[in-house]
Structure 1
């Protein structure tokens, strides 16, 4: 029933523009255009705020592992490397392009969530879901660090959308798409097994399970999923299941883990990320709480399917880590928080007052405007108070090492190791783009590089304050007489204002002779690095 004209709220200025935007959601490009604006504005904010903050070590590692395409990498499945590789084949190798990749992935994730939402609601409610998601830190701060976790932001809702269509329509096309998206989720991070478990449990427990399970859809999904993951499984077998051994060492065999406490922190952190959206939605529906509660108790079949998927994917990992006495970082499940808000809004059988939606949009827009205005202030703050991990010093340190190498050798800088952040940064920022020379299987072991590595030329960087790395360098200098070691300061400077400084220690071992034939990527990774021996 249409609202009587005298009851339609009248808006002026920016609020009138928001109202017109809401009117065009079902007939125009309101949401796609807004998502493009979100990607552009968020990229600009981060580029200003982190003007000399350099990329996070995880992002630099993502680029390093993606330099050479493969069906797997030592630490994680290959999807993050594939995406970085494809992106950098098109865009320049710069901070802004990688931030654009990260925020474009977040925009795609929001578009995928909207695909699910439009199966249940229209107009204003679709916008409300996206605005509430933007009130979480997931699609800005978590997304900006593009790694094995954030690459799932778009994959999980896309896989869920395909499974939802497959469950409801039971067609071969949607079943195949669901299977391949499940494989893609596993190629992003093995934690996605809990999403797949959610699909299985939902398919078995849902009241309409008989029609789905008796159809060909689940078998088609299974076959397509296995076909999609098979090359990676073969790679795992060929490489002694390296990522699984890494996961065992870092999470299951890790000492000092309190599994119950970790599971509680996991649940509370995810709940905290939803606190502001939950409060905002409650305020919007303050006069209709009881009806909202009744709607939540009587979900439609599609929303019930989503609830079963979310409940399984959220509860099962907590139960498993308690059984295995493992840890469970909260960041692993941020890509699944969209389930809660989609269910909460799509369950509503009454209209949300337009004025409430306009108010929510105004608040979100205001927060983004404040972030844009505050971004130069944050950059100034970091100039004097750098990140504890040292990422602000990455680029300048790599420049100093590259310049010193070119003074000592006529050959390009080809290999670098040492502190992981500095080594990954040198691989990215140095114009020579040396390879990260410690094999990823031994990434956390301070061992002695082989003689053949020194013969071909090698370099390393460490923060002087890192005692373990400094001792490792001392050992190398004692055993390799021609190694040149020195310490230099790196000082930040922003808009003519000098900032904090930090000491960096470097080693260069120039090659004994000019290299012969060009090495293959596999040779460059396998030939160098550390023997499996701790200090």
Structure 2
């Protein structure tokens, strides 16, 4: 998340791992709100709320019976898609908000031939591509859904897909230009993630697949329980028509299958987090598989379980925190915020110009960028390929603060490349604090290189 913040401060047309849109959103958000964890949580919650609204609208297009629609809209809240996983803002979770609306306009464009929806689909698809190239996999699901539908094939034969495609290219064209000018750093990063050891790839494969199934446990369990035990009147027909079911299955399951397949074929690590934003209709497929399940008891049970679960989590949060601070796991909490404060203090005591650039062992530079009152530019790993906005001239003009773990020889060696006769090295042990609790001490070396004397 702090990486999103540090990137968002720069407003580049691209970054070394991903395209820029989600980082732009983070930068715009914190240009309005204070840089505090609360407002980062609020950004994440807003992202989830927008996605939930889009999912609500999309389900409304597919499910016409009011009682079945209420059940279908309540079931996604039983997944961690819009709750636990949503309280993180990165290149994966941005799809929680973008993808439901993209699917909504794709459905209206391909199935209803709505020209305005085609334009919106093109715009949102472009923004998805500007967020992470992974969206090509769910877009493949859209293509399959259109090819297997009569209305979709008619739409593909029209001019509308070409208009959508042109709008996509228009949206991403600045980023394409940036790729050509900078030797495509995201593709270099992708190449570095290929050909991992088979043991790790197979572990990730099974963890991803079973992780996604695990996220659906509450949905499948509650649906099965209500459908087998409820005594209310059953629905007269299934939730969706056969054509809608096929459409929903293709746009939902295609990215899942392709993600798992690409993990094996490319031997690249995958995770269930990659897919949480592109499977908003997965609970709807579970409901459809239940057939003519009594919709009213299911809707009531889902809403009640969500309400009880949410209340229980709020009540249990203090007890969980009490447990956390008494475990060894919390004691090992790395003191990111404390490092940011100490580094800023040390710089201000020795240098009479603002702290502008911070480097060091990742991810300390990003955390200092977020937590420090100076909000300096991040220079992770002292590597310009990770931060194209940093130049030797700017380091020479503004100076550099490097933060290295004391046993990180690579960081210490990289920092020495920017050292001058005025460079000062300060060893310091720092611990994380919560209330009157103190975690374990971590040893750091703060390396201060003041600006060149004019």
Q: Same fold (TM over 0.5)?
A: yes
Q: Does 1:142 align with 2:142?
A: no
Distance 1:121 1:504, change over 3 A: farther
The CA distance in 2 between the partners of 1:288 and 1:236, in whole Å, is 57
Determine if contact 1:386/1:500 at 8 Å carries over to the other structure: no
Q: Does 1:488 align with 2:407?
A: no
The CA distance in 2 between the partners of 1:322 and 1:356, in whole Å, is 38
Deviation at 1:489, TM superposition (A): 2.7
Q: What secondary structure, in the 3-state scheme, does the structure 2 residue paired with 1:493 have?
A: strand
Could you report, residue by residue, the CA deviation over 1:100-126 in whole angstroms, capped at 9, with x for unpaired residues? Answer: 000110111111111111111354444
Distance 1:294 1:507, change over 3 A: farther
Determine if contact 1:69/1:82 at 8 Å carries over to the other structure: yes
Could you report, residue by residue, the CA deviation over 1:303-353 in whole angstroms, capped at 9, with x for unpaired residues? Answer: 321211223222123223322232222211111232221233357774635
Q: Does 1:278 align with 2:220?
A: yes
Deviation at 1:64, TM superposition (A): 0.8
Map residues 202-217 of structure 1 onto 2, 5 A cutoff. 202-217=145-160
- Measured on the aligned residues, the alpha-carbon RMSD in Å equals 3.3
Which of 310, 319, 322 pairs up with 1:380?
Answer: 322
Deviation at 1:409, TM superposition (A): 1.1
Moved more, 370-379 or 384-393: 384-393
Which of 86, 97, 102 pairs up with 1:154?
Answer: 97
Could you report, residue by residue, the CA deviation over 1:255-299 in whole angstroms, capped at 9, with x for unpaired residues? Answer: 56654554333222211211221111111211489x999977984
Determine if contact 2:360/2:404 at 8 Å carries over to the other structure: yes
Determine if contact 1:109/1:153 at 8 Å carries over to the other structure: yes
Map residues 52-131 of structure 1 onto 2, 5 A cutoff. 59-119=1-61, 120-131=63-74
Equivalence for 1:189? 132
Map residues 435-474 of structure 1 onto 2, 5 A cutoff. 435-438=377-380, 442=384, 453=395, 456-464=398-406, 466=408, 468-469=410-411
Equivalence for 2:253? 311
Determine if contact 2:59/2:73 at 8 Å carries over to the other structure: no
Distance 1:172 1:490, change over 3 A: same
Moved more, 478-487 or 418-427: 478-487
Distance 1:396 1:259, change over 3 A: closer
Equivalence for 2:451? 511
Gaps of 5+ in 2: none
Deviation at 1:420, TM superposition (A): 1.9
The CA distance in 1 between the partners of 2:424 and 2:40, in whole Å, is 34
Gaps of 5+ in 1: 1-58, 515-535
The CA distance in 1 between the partners of 2:286 and 2:143, in whole Å, is 23
Deviation at 1:301, TM superposition (A): 1.9
Determine if contact 2:16/2:386 at 8 Å carries over to the other structure: no
Deviation at 1:206, TM superposition (A): 2.3
The CA distance in 1 between the partners of 2:43 and 2:418, in whole Å, is 44
Determine if contact 1:124/1:352 at 8 Å carries over to the other structure: no
The CA distance in 1 between the partners of 2:65 and 2:334, in whole Å, is 45
Equivalence for 2:167? 224
Equivalence for 1:172? 115
Moved more, 163-172 or 479-488: 479-488
Q: Does 1:400 align with 2:350?
A: no
Distance 1:243 1:391, change over 3 A: farther
Question: Normalising by the residue count of structure 1, what TM-score does the alignment of the two structures yield?
Answer: 0.75
Determine if contact 1:415/1:458 at 8 Å carries over to the other structure: yes
Question: Normalising by the residue count of structure 2, what TM-score does the alignment of the two structures yield?
Answer: 0.88
The CA distance in 2 between the partners of 1:157 and 1:137, in whole Å, is 16
Distance 1:85 1:333, change over 3 A: same
The CA distance in 2 between the partners of 1:382 and 1:502, in whole Å, is 19
Determine if contact 1:295/1:348 at 8 Å carries over to the other structure: no
Q: What secondary structure, in the 3-state scheme, does the structure 1 residue paired with 2:130 have?
A: helix
